Chains A and B, each alone.
Chain A
Amino acid sequence: MDQLAPVLLAFPPENPTDDNDTYDKAVKAHLNRLTKLLKDNNADLILHGPQLLELLSPAVNSLSYLAVLHTLVIPSLATSMARDLLLEKLAIFLVSFDGRQCRYAGTHLHDLLSTVGSGQYLPPSVAVDVLATAILKLDPTGRMLTSTHIILARLAYNTDNIEPALKVIDKIIVFYPNMINYKEPQYLCDLDLFPPAYITRENGLTAVVKAAAVMEYDLLCGMMYCARREWAKAHAAFERVVTFPTREGGTSKIMAEAYKKWVLVSLLLNGKHTDPPSYTGAAANKLYGTLGKSYVSVATSFVTENAEGLKAEVEKNAEIWQEDGNTGLIQEVLAAYQKWRVLNLQDIYTKISISEIREQTLSAETGEKLGKDEDVEALVQNMIIGGMLKGVIEKNDDGTVFLTFLSSTTELSELEFADELLRMASRLKELQPIFRATSERLGTSKDYVKHIMKESKRNEKSDAPDPTLGFDAQVDDEDLMGGVIQTG
């Protein structure tokens, strides 16, 4: 115990330095000592683990704490310590560790995260929160997908603990593990490093992520947003899967599943269904056409005045919705039908009485008009509260209740508009680092340099036009990155 403590407490030094070189050396030295310790004194560590954990601060001595904790938790919970206490320590560590230190012990950290992610030890609501916090500790920008993300999404969705996961899944992912052309960083502790540089499979902070897992993550995100009725975010998430890059005519079942949900969510969000974006894979598009047929026909009847037709369309394919697990969304769509019909009335009326709305709109749930004016009023009231409709319900002197539609866009004052623009500008500025990281990555790519050389060679040769070269140029123009390089 006495010989263990000084080693464990040796890092970080009393007066820490921000200098990457010194820090890197110190960490590496400490790591060597820890490794030795773990190898030679494993039994002691387990025995004295509880006292050591009390002694160490999870936020300051993160590496040492991790080492002790890892011995106690992996491969199974140690018996030398009360189970509850140990798990509490585990949770505390994961929400408070120092991300910079732990970059050096990726594999160990990852082991702990996976343990938590299995959902066996911690209650799910705690586990989700712990995982989400840990992910952001490692990568404060949250822009990079790791295998932990996928574990988190699965756990959160399956145990219905969505709320604590939001801080992670709300982030827009732009980086993925093991992109080519990231060379080993000089100092792993460099705080200016971009996540893809230090979160790699090699240093253990993430496991292998396959295309299917990436799509699964977005699909799960979409489904979580659906559960929270955040249709805009759900739509974006599903669209990411629907338009997932494909090559050589590749398609996936997950994409088709996402497409079905995407169609339904478009109805809820926009009141109509549009074709997938132009950059959707051709083979995928074809697949959507056949597999999503019944969904598209629901979407087609959704925009008509024919509520009964929509109802019939839905009832006819009840089995399909059941099979695809979309019954809930379909019910939402049916419920939203009348709301969209009411909303469309604002293209015709400025003021309209509630009873007229009742006359003019049908509910797709029953295929008939609503029974009472009060029901319509409640429906409209809900739409106004939900922010779907801008308007007010008023009452006349003669007792007629009516709805006044207000303009959906309000004129901003010059100052407000300037503010809004400023906010937009700063948001765009925040993208700068991402641009820089991307263009750096491209700039060091062998293939990219090769491409540039080929381009310039062709330009030199262009005085002797060659039809085959011209054709080549067209092929190159299709490059995904062609358009973006200049922006970086």
Chain B
Amino acid sequence: MATNQQNHLLAFFTAMDNQGGIIVRDAPKLDLDLYISNYKGRTRFERLLVIGQCSVTLCLDALKAAIVEAKKGKDVQRYRDAWECIRTAAPAEPEAIWDDAWVNATERANKLETQRLEAELKGYKNNLVKESIRIGHRDLGEHLESIGDLNGAADAYLKMRPDASTQSHILDVGKHIISTMLQKRDWPGALANINKVLVANMSPEEQNAEQPYQKMVSGLAYLGTEKYHEAARSFLEVGDPIVCQRYNDVVSSNDIATYGGLLALASMDRLELQIRVLDNSAFRNYLELEPHIRKAVSMFVNGRYSACLAILESYRADYLLDIYLQKHVASLFSLIRSKCIVQYFLPFSCVTLDSMNTAFAKPGESLEDELISMIKSGVLKARINTIDKLLVAVSNNARVAMQTQGIEAARNYEREALERIRRMSLAAADLEVRGQSRKIGSTGGNLAGVGDIWSDDSNRRLYNPGETASS
């Protein structure tokens, strides 16, 4: 029985791998129940499904939880997705049996509800009460979102805008639209909306209350578009954790800490890390939630790069199971790693490869290939000495550079001057290569005075020497 189960899991993950999905074999440090209780709303299902599809150890638990989560809602497609997964992964489980009754009942109810809301909205429109129309659109949008029709929901939310009369209404519209965009992973759209909606003039209190949401969404959008430095800045400026907690249908405070710390490590230098991360009193609250991030950052700032990398490496599985971070883990880790190597090497003119290996390489492996690719891409300004096993810094001799540049300039001047005169002479001797159409007209090419280089050929023919003499 157990081996049978194993085989099904294997088949499931092979299929996932073939689809280009990420497979996490190591057990993450997170506790599934605790983790998911941090969130509310539609993101819970998304996260459970991702974990179910990616983590070998948590697969079954997560998928079962996802089924339960899906059945709590009204989105039939989500149930179908989760069921497809569990059907291949564990056909023996009771959750793997298709619940036709629930599906039919939900679909029918959804249809009725949609019709009801549409009819209601029509009624509001006939009555021409702005507020009611707005509410009608919102209700319809929320319903459509909950049954998984994101495009329909976005349309409905957009129609709220003409009827939004107060600042809070506009905010409301914006948040609803952004919510659908985040689910559709439309990062540029989310970014445009967050700036459009929330930048309007607000009182300081409002500003305080809205900043966490604004920063967290723009951070996610920047992360999604791989602008890591901007993303890090956004996450570090999120602000009040209590307000942030309110938006746990998007991300949790723990996530803010992880994203902010990790992105900062990948995109900032040591000084900036110290100022913006460690000395940042607002962000400290978040760091307390994820002490390992705090530790990694301070290790990096203190120059203990291998320890920093070791910490991050031990949490790699957790990062890989995060829906937003997942895709960027590999590039973020390699960014941090090459930064560590560059920083490690910075104070030296020469380092033995062995000490680099002990600091950065996995046991038994050599760092050389990585160093080569870093040198090639210009990240690391150094050269390798494979005979004495050294990494040597490139010395920039400004004098030599100046001298070569000076001589080069003189040489170029000479060459260019001669080339220009040569071309002028060619023009003066009427030796240019002409287009076919002009061939007939230029038979007198070598007669002095005919090769008029100042005016166009056609002008010359119209031009009468006698006339200029008089004019």
Contact = CB atoms under 8 A, between A and B. Distances in A.
B434 interface: yes
A402 B427 CA distance: 55
B389 to A, nearest CB: 10
A180 B424 CA distance: 11
Given A249-B435, A349-B383, A451-B454, A411 B429 contact: no
A465 B426 CA distance: 36
A347 interface: yes
A209 B435 CA distance: 18
Contacts of A487: 417
A431 B433 contact: no
A358 to B, nearest CB: 13
B425 A176 contact: yes
B267 to A, nearest CB: 26
A256 to B, nearest CB: 11
Nearest to B423: A245
Given A174-B418, A411-B399, A431-B417, A248 B386 contact: no
Given A179-B425, A245-B433, A251-B433, A424 B454 contact: no
A409 B400 contact: yes
Interface stretch (B127-135, B169-177, B405-413): B405-413
A411 B387 contact: no
Contacts of B399: 411
A179 B173 CA distance: 77
Given A348-B376, A421-B410, A438-B421, A353 B432 contact: no
A173 B422 contact: yes
Interface in A433-473: 434-435, 438, 441, 447-448, 450-451
Contacts of B431: 176, 209-211, 214, 245
Interface stretch (A109-117, A219-227, A368-376, A477-485): A477-485
A447 B433 contact: no
B405 to A, nearest CB: 10
Contacts of A175: 425
Contacts of B418: 172, 174, 431, 434
Nearest to A279: B423
A181 B436 CA distance: 27
Interface string A60-87: 0000000000000000000000000000
A438 B424 contact: yes
Please classify how large the interface on chain B is, using the bins under 10, 10 to 19, 20 to 34, 35 or more: 35 or more
B68 interface: no
Residue of A173, A248, A346, A349 with most partner-chain B CB within 10 A: A248
Residue of A180, A284, A349, A410 with most partner-chain B CB within 10 A: A180
A321 interface: no
Contact of B433 (A177, A211, A240, A402): A211
Contacts of A351: 385-388
B392 interface: yes
A319 B399 CA distance: 50
Please classify how large the interface on chain A is, using the bins under 10, 10 to 19, 20 to 34, 35 or more: 35 or more
A396 B387 contact: yes
B119 interface: no
A451 B420 CA distance: 19
Nearest to B397: A411
Contacts of B136: none
Interface string B370-387: 001001100000011111
A350 interface: yes
Interface stretch (B44-52, B194-202, B444-452): B444-452
B428 interface: yes
Contacts of B410: 421, 424-425, 427-428
A348 B413 CA distance: 33
A427 B386 CA distance: 44
A174 B421 contact: yes
Contact of A245 (B390, B421, B427, B457): B427
A175 B400 CA distance: 37
B390 to A, nearest CB: 8
Contacts of B467: none
Interface in A397-434: 400, 402, 405, 407, 409-412, 417, 420-421, 424-425, 427-428, 431, 434
A157 interface: no
Nearest to B448: A180
B168 interface: no
Contacts of A208: 446
Nearest to B430: A180
A38 interface: no
Residue of B383, B388, B392 with most partner-chain A CB within 10 A: B383
B429 to A, nearest CB: 4
B428 A180 contact: yes
Interface in A30-50: none
Contacts of A304: none
Contacts of B468: 450
B436 to A, nearest CB: 8
A294 interface: no
A201 interface: yes
A138 interface: no
A247 interface: yes
A434 B421 contact: yes
Contact of A483 (B400, B420, B427): B420
Contacts of B457: 248
Given A410-B400, A411-B399, A431-B417, A480 B424 contact: yes
A356 interface: yes
Nearest first, the 5 closest Cβ-Cβ pairs linking A and B are A248-B435, A179-B428, A250-B433, A176-B429, A424-B410
18 contacts: A178-B448, A180-B430, A180-B449, A210-B445, A347-B376, A348-B383, A349-B385, A349-B386, A351-B387, A351-B388, A396-B387, A402-B386, A420-B407, A421-B410, A425-B410, A447-B452, A480-B420, A481-B453
Given A177-B429, A279-B423, A451-B454, 19 more contacts: A172-B418, A178-B429, A180-B450, A180-B451, A240-B422, A248-B435, A250-B432, A250-B438, A252-B433, A350-B390, A352-B386, A409-B400, A420-B407, A421-B410, A424-B410, A427-B410, A431-B414, A434-B418, A484-B420
Interface of B: 372, 375-376, 383-388, 390, 392, 397, 399-400, 403-404, 406-407, 410-411, 413-414, 417-418, 420-438, 445-446, 448-455, 457, 468
